[in-house]
Structure 1
């Protein structure tokens, strides 16, 4: 019998499937629970995972449960619901929440779980589904040092970099800072590409000059791979998810009493894209919406110099 903890995983979508696969390949017994899409669940079951019918059942069977969900209301429902984690939890259970979540919600849940002997670790993710499949994500971990020692071997199955950023809740705060930059960059790149096209500087030239300069970055590269090459798979993160994240950033700033002009401005572009039904577009496609607001078809603009 293995002396490794039994792991659960709720939310095996774009990111979660690769993470869960790497936990299985790390030699851990794994329980999974999906949502409407059966494909990733069946994929993991075919590799040896067991499927739980509820979070309550999973909590009774597992020592550590991962959550990889879309937002804090989903996390709250999975933890607090009548068939949720707390309904079936044993003392000593650890919940690792990799969701990009609202830190206020995280801290409230942490208190409720602690009262029942359950520990919460927030470990939101950096990078993309490609790195999730490869097991090389970045993990920003919020927990105490003793809990980090327990969970690091498991997190190490799917993360290439593990950084403890502080106590529980700090991981989600750090992730919001990261996604604040991502949302602001997306808005800035979209505006700049549209402005350039209006004044006669093509998106290709913009990429050629900025990419290798000090202003270039991995985010710039994947963003402009869509803009210039129309590669929809270059940066698979939805506008709806980024819109949620930038709302959480604005709320965090309000709670902290911090003026946040840039975050507020970026939020409006994402809110607009959602309002016109484009929430499931990927973040680099924001450039198309900003282009249209300025009377441009960005696909036509990139074709001019192909």
Structure 2
């Protein structure tokens, strides 16, 4: 790999666009691909990126490819597909997977890439699309220390904090633990505001009491900004992603032979909202659905 590697980027959604933009602004030659986010592709082209015809084509042109996709299924498709990264991989290629993924899948992909002389780094993200655009995300990195130093300058373009968690796969495990906590907060806060409303405590009062206390946190703040203020964009993380991540958590727990009562309980709320056709709702909107399960219109209560 040269001192200034050519970087490819696949997946220009809410998080990916900001990350790719900051890598490009860091001075890297860049190739991008996303068949579903045309506006993001055009945005990157406007600042000097080029569009790649396929992951295979990208692998033939790039030294490093970063992926930021919704699930392991999507990652596997762009890595293993007929026109995938493996089909075009050259020895020395590094793939950075910033998706929230199943660690079991990550381990298999790392082994398959190594057969082509390529290496995998898992570097999932913490924080929100706002920080993605600002270049101040948190990165949880799984790879050996020497490889981390190779890719660190690229990750520094988009991350304010970089934590080396351990060997490949460790970053995805840490991200699942983080999202297990976060999505469980979502379920817990939903039950709490609905129970409060049913016994005569308004959501605004709950926010005023809990927010400044030791139990307040950033997740609580954005969650309650939707519940109380009805700000739909307060926390732009979908129910579909939350449900997927909790499925990965419970799978990880099963493989580790760990009892996972809390993760399983939280997962059912999100699975319910998916099942009734609201997978594209954002996580704080779970509160409305928990309200409906209890005969309560939470929007009216908040007003």
For the aligned pair, the TM-score class normalised by the smaller chain equals over 0.9
**Equivalent in the alignment of 2:213:** 213
**Equivalent in the alignment of 2:239:** 239
The CA deviation at 1:115 is 1.3
**Equivalent in the alignment of 1:272:** 272
The CA deviation at 1:35 is 2.2
Alpha-carbon separation, structure 2, partners of 1:262 and 1:62? 43
Alpha-carbon separation, structure 2, partners of 1:165 and 1:3? 25
**Equivalent in the alignment of 2:115:** 115
Task: Tell me whether 1:251 sits opposite 2:251 in the alignment.
Answer: yes
Q: Contact conserved, 2:12 with 2:37, CA < 8 A, in 1?
A: no
The CA deviation at 1:183 is 1.0
Gaps of 5+ in 2: none
**Equivalent in the alignment of 2:296:** 296
Give runs of aligned pairs for residues 7-26 of structure 1, distance below 5 A: 7-26=7-26
CA RMSD after TM alignment: 0.7
SS in 2 for 1:278: coil
**Equivalent in the alignment of 2:61:** 61
**Equivalent in the alignment of 1:38:** 38
Give runs of aligned pairs for residues 77-156 of structure 1, distance below 5 A: 77-156=77-156
Alpha-carbon separation, structure 1, partners of 2:64 and 2:126? 21
Deviation per residue, 1:5-31 (Å, 9 max, x gap): 100000001000000000011011111
SS in 1 for 2:96: strand
Alpha-carbon separation, structure 2, partners of 1:115 and 1:250? 30
SS in 1 for 2:157: helix
SS in 2 for 1:162: strand
SS in 1 for 2:108: helix
The CA deviation at 1:253 is 0.3
SS in 2 for 1:157: coil
TM-score, length basis structure 2: 0.99
**Equivalent in the alignment of 2:283:** 283
Q: How many residues align?
A: 302
Gaps of 5+ in 1: none
Deviation per residue, 1:47-67 (Å, 9 max, x gap): 110000100010000000000
Alpha-carbon separation, structure 1, partners of 2:28 and 2:236? 28
TM-score, length basis structure 1: 0.98
The CA deviation at 1:185 is 0.4
The runs of 4+ residues in structure 1 deviating greater than 4 Å are: none
The CA deviation at 1:3 is 4.0
